[in-house]
Amino acid sequence: MTALKLGTRKSLMATTQSQGVADALTRLTGRAVELVGITTEGDVSKAQLAQMGGTGVFVSALRDHLLSGDIDFAVHSLKDLPTGPAEGITLAATPRRDDPRDALCSAPLPSPHPPGGLPKLADLPRAARVGTGSPRRVAQLKALRSDLEVVPIRGNADTRLRKVTGGELDAVVLAYAGLRRIGRMDDVAEIFEPDQMLPAPGQGSLAVECRSDRADLRELLATVDDPATRAAVTAERTVLAVLEAGCSAPVGAYAAVQDHGREEQELHLTAAVVAHDGARQIRLSASGHPGDAERIGRGLAADLLALGADQLMGERE
């Protein structure tokens, strides 16, 4: 039996997470999987993500290869997926979610500061330069410390971390899940809890896509799907879709399924829209059955809009 072809971006982080899905699929089904590296528009452009048209720049090339039959399925970081449906393509699996939180990676403070661990956000000097390419992180960093100089950056995790070790920046904020996947946990100074910094919808999760007409493949890929993860990210991404927000909007959302005894589960969702300068935010929560994930997300987004979230998203410094 021929190996299945898995399309992935070529970065270390992308190939590492794709290999994890491939290994799980082989373990559960016995099917061999071959990784196929694909270059996307987002990988070659030096522009900021919002200037390139949003998250789809990391996805469209992989989807083109899916539709042409060059690959059998593709693995993406779920937060890279546009919220709208893609004709001819289905989300076949959302594997169990990794840690969704954001992490601060900082450089040791110069003497006369005492030696010790890496400085946390509160320990950084006044007007410290902190790098991130995410408006969501910019807004929430400003809410935590209005004195920070937040610097827009691009590139893979190694490129961003070198800006810290090279002295160009005091710190950067990255997804903790990605740092863990590439073995860079020693660079982490602080992990932000969701009440400090809400993650991006779908952060820490992977998306496995295939063609809609491949029923056999959809059934095979379903073996690596995690229902709790799917419910959580469905709620989060529904908030984003109803708000009509993309990568340029300061929107955070996090949902998790909690067990309350035998066969009793509850999905808890929190979402926030934060002003770009961090001065104001609208933050709400909702709960319900995991099977109602989309309804919960729609309801919470409607409540956010009723409180003026659309005006807050439209404001600029």
Chain-centroid distance of CA 232 in Å reads 13
Q: Which of 9, 63, 79, 97 is catalytic?
A: 79
Query: What order of strands is seen across the sheet that includes strand 251-259?
Result: 251-259, 265-274, 281-288
Residues 6/74, Cβ–Cβ less than 8 Å: yes
Q: Which of 9, 101, 129, 136 is catalytic?
A: 136
Q: Which of 80, 98, 102, 170 is catalytic?
A: 80
Q: Does residue 29 sit in helix, strand or coil?
A: helix
CA angle 209, 214, 215 (to 5 degrees): 105
Q: How far is the CA of 233 from the CAs of 119, 201, 236, in angstroms?
A: 32, 7, 5
Q: Is 180 one of the annotated active-site residues of the chain?
A: no
Q: Which of 5, 31, 145, 154 is catalytic?
A: 154
Q: How far is the CA of 141 from the CAs of 31, 34, 164, 171, 266, in angstroms?
A: 45, 40, 17, 12, 30
Q: Is 154 one of the annotated active-site residues of the chain?
A: yes
Token pair for residue 76? Answer: 């993406």
Q: Is 80 one of the annotated active-site residues of the chain?
A: yes
Q: Which of 129, 184, 210, 247 is catalytic?
A: 247
Q: Is 79 one of the annotated active-site residues of the chain?
A: yes
Q: Is 9 one of the annotated active-site residues of the chain?
A: no
Type and span of the H or E element at 235: helix 227-242
Bridge partners for 282 per DSSP: 273
Which one-letter DSSP state was computed for residue 254? E
Position 201, amino acid: P
Q: How far is the CA of 132 from the CAs of 137, 185, 205, in angstroms?
A: 7, 18, 20
Query: What is the dihedral angle through the alpha carbons of 67, 20, 42, 213, rounded to the nearest 10 degrees?
Result: 10
Token pair for residue 263? Answer: 């066969």
Instruction: Give the list of residues 6+ apart from residue 166 with CB closer than 8 angstroms, or none.
Output: none
Bridge partners for 104 per DSSP: 173, 190
Q: Which of 9, 101, 137, 237 is catalytic?
A: 137
Q: Which of 160, 218, 230, 237 is catalytic?
A: 160
Q: Is 210 one of the annotated active-site residues of the chain?
A: no
Q: Is 5 one of the annotated active-site residues of the chain?
A: no
As annotated, the active-site residues are: 79-80, 136-137, 154, 160, 247
